[in-house]
Structure 1
Amino acid sequence: MLISPSTLRSFTEDIFKAIGCSHEHAVLAADVLLKSDLRGIDSHGVARLSGYVRLWEKKRINPTPNIQIVHETPTTATIDGDAGLGLVVAPYAMEVAIKKAELYGSGWVSVRNSNHFGIAGYHGLMAVEKAMIGFAMTNASPLVAPTFSSERLLGTNPMCYAFPAGKYPPVIVDLATSAAANGKLEIAQRLGKQVPEGWIQDKEGNYTTDPHALKTGGSLLPLGSDRDHGSHKGFGLSATVDILSAVLSGANYGPWVPPFVAFLDPPNDPVGAGIGHFLGAMRVDGFRPIDEFKNHLDNWIERFKSSATVDADQKVIIPGEPELEAEADRMANGIPLVDSVVEDLNQLAERFGINKLPRV
């Protein structure tokens, strides 16, 4: 089923307003989710909307947060999100980072007491729009086992690096530090498909292709899947995200991070407040003139795009390119939603008394 972006945006805004968000926050939160769907990252778009509503029902999301800086230097800050939507808290934090970068060359902000913040790329792109290099990462509920472990201690812990180019679109490196994002499992569940071997293990530590394995004690694997294929590197990247996002900010880390699903209660022995993020903005002209950088990044892109490939029908894909292509297609033709997601969203519409989603 295809839904026009404008229709889906209005629908999403109405749901956020229905749970008590201000108009400004509803528009921003909807924009983050829509950017995910437009860029083809279906696991983090409106399919997550009912999850935010369920967390609000559990009083784990504050729709009217008092977001504030609790510690600050000229180039750094720590922000308390007051249990607000991460979709709102993280952009606020990136704005702080950008303002500091405008004054001092770079800005770095850690966040505590927040929630799921959507795709990391959204926040990184905010810096790119100011001709800066953007950084965004967040920890997440524990679904990933470290190398050699069968215990879920880390989240999928995504990180994003965003670089402004000249005549080409920005280079956006946005990835989970696990072998696959949990949203990929959710997509497989909705479609009734198995997942590739190397994504998850069962509770005994054996590979499985069952996308429901997490519900029976299994765990996602780090990027690299096993030690022979570099899972210790994925573990190291995930640890970096967890430490910068939470140990630095005062959020929960490791196994204490509260789950996104509302039917699971947060740990009763928290070590911090909510979920943590880490965002940064860095002025390119602190290193070299911005035009020079953009020209050379364009040259970098062209060289990699023209490189010899193993298969003549293939080409090197620049990070961020598939998402840009998806956005162009979906803006023109609509956003595809599977029937189970449409049904879920229309149940929300019935509950809050708003119009159901029509077909394009």
Structure 2
Amino acid sequence: MIITEPTIRKFTQNIFLAIGCGQEHAQLAADVLLKSDLRGIDSHGVARLSGYVRLWEKGRINPTPNIRVVHETPTTATVDGDAGLGLVVAPFAMQVALQKAELYGSGWVSVRNSNHFGIAGYHALMAVEKDMIGFAMTNASPLVAPTFSNERLLGTNPMCYAFPAGNYPPVIVDMATSAAANGKLEIAQRSGKQVPEGWIQDAEGNFTTDPHALKSGGSLLPLGSDRDHGSHKGFGLSATVDILSAVLSGANYGPWVPPFVAFMDPAKDPVGEGIGHFVGAMRVDGFRPVDEFKHHLDNWIERFKSATTVDPSQNVIIPGEPELEAEIDRMQNGIPLVDAVVNDLNELAVRFGVQQLK
């Protein structure tokens, strides 16, 4: 089903209002989710809305949080999200980082006591809008086994780096540090398809293409899949995200991260508060004039776009290009939602007395 962006936006806002969010927070949370759907990252958009409602039902999401800075220096801070929606907490933290960067050249904020924050790209792009370089990362449900293990100890732990360009769209490197995001498994589950080999292992540590394998003790694999293909590098990147997001802030880390997925329960012996994020911003003009940087990033883009390719019908894809193309198309033509997601959302509509999607 194809649904217009304004229709889905209004629907999403109404659900957040129904669970007790204020108008400003409901609008912001909806904006973060819609950005994901618009950019073609269907795994992190409104398909996740029922997941947030589920956490609210369990008392794990506070719809009216007192988000605050609990520790800071001129260029750094720690934010306590008061168990609020990560969709709201992370933008607050990025605003703190931007304010510090405006004054001192860079700002770095670690966050504790938060929840799932949507796509990392949303938060990093807040810096690009001010001609800064943006960073955003978060730890997540422990679904990933480190290299050589079959024990789920890490999340998909995404990270994003965003750079402002001149005549071209920003370069946005937004990725999970696992072989695949859990949301892609959920997409495969909804469509009844298998997943590529190298994404998941079963409980015994063997590769499997069954997207349901996590529910029977399996685990996602780090970026690289196995040691021969560099999984130790994916493990290292994921560890970096976990340490900056949680060990640094006082959030839960590793296997203690409260899960977003329905088939897992939170650890009974938490080592911190909620999940953690890490965001940052750096002023480009702290290094060289902004126009010079943008000119040379444009030149960088043009050189890579003109690279000789193995298949002449394909071009090198600059990070962020596919998402921008999707956003342009979906703003004009609507957002495609699979039947399973529409049915899930309409169940929420009936429950909360919101107009159903048609």
User: The TM-score by the shorter chain falls in which range?
Assistant: over 0.9
Structure 2 distance, partners of 1:273, 1:215, is: 25
**In the alignment, residue 181 of structure 1 is paired with which amino acid?**
A
Q: Quick check: 2:94–2:126 contact (8 Å CA) kept in 1?
A: yes
Please state whether the residue corresponding to 1:298 is helix, strand or coil. helix
Structure-to-structure mapping, 1:221-232, within 5 angstroms: 221-232=221-232
**In the alignment, residue 135 of structure 1 is paired with which amino acid?**
F
Structure 2 distance, partners of 1:264, 1:237, is: 24
Q: Count matched residues.
A: 358
Instruction: Tell me what 1:156 maps to.
Output: 156
Cα distance, 1:262 vs structure 2: 4.3
Structure 2 distance, partners of 1:253, 1:49, is: 24
Structure 1 distance, partners of 2:263, 2:121, is: 28
Structure 1 distance, partners of 2:34, 2:70, is: 30
Across the aligned residues of Structure 1 and Structure 2, the Cα RMSD in angstroms comes to: 0.5
Deviations 1:121-149 (A, max 9, x none): 00000000000000000000100000000
Instruction: Tell me what 1:171 maps to.
Output: 171
Structure 1 distance, partners of 2:245, 2:34, is: 24
Structure 2: give runs of 5+ residues left out of the alignment: none
Cα distance, 1:263 vs structure 2: 5.1
**In the alignment, residue 201 of structure 1 is paired with which amino acid?**
Q
Instruction: Tell me what 1:187 maps to.
Output: 187
Please state whether the residue corresponding to 1:278 is helix, strand or coil. strand
Cα distance, 1:251 vs structure 2: 0.2
Instruction: Tell me what 2:16 maps to.
Output: 16
Instruction: Tell me what 2:107 maps to.
Output: 107
Q: Quick check: 1:116–1:140 contact (8 Å CA) kept in 2?
A: yes
Structure 1: give runs of 5+ residues left out of the alignment: none
Instruction: Tell me what 1:310 maps to.
Output: 310
Structure 2 distance, partners of 1:177, 1:293, is: 28
Q: Quick check: 1:93–1:109 contact (8 Å CA) kept in 2?
A: yes
Instruction: Tell me what 2:272 maps to.
Output: 272
Structure 2 distance, partners of 1:54, 1:219, is: 23
Cα distance, 1:265 vs structure 2: 2.4
Q: Tell me the TM-score normalized by structure 1.
A: 0.99
Q: Tell me the TM-score normalized by structure 2.
A: 1.00
Structure-to-structure mapping, 1:158-307, within 5 angstroms: 158-262=158-262, 264-307=264-307
Q: Quick check: 2:173–2:319 contact (8 Å CA) kept in 1?
A: yes
Deviations 1:273-302 (A, max 9, x none): 000000000000000000000000000000
Please state whether the residue corresponding to 1:183 is helix, strand or coil. helix
Deviations 1:21-76 (A, max 9, x none): 00000000000000000000000000000000000000000000000100000000
Q: Quick check: 1:55–1:261 contact (8 Å CA) kept in 2?
A: no
Cα distance, 1:264 vs structure 2: 3.1
Structure 1 distance, partners of 2:79, 2:330, is: 35
Structure 2 distance, partners of 1:129, 1:9, is: 22
Deviations 1:294-341 (A, max 9, x none): 000000000000010000011000000000000001001000000000
Structure 2 distance, partners of 1:69, 1:325, is: 37
**In the alignment, residue 157 of structure 1 is paired with which amino acid?**
N
What fraction of aligned residue pairs are identical, expressed as a percent?
86
Instruction: Tell me what 1:5 maps to.
Output: 5
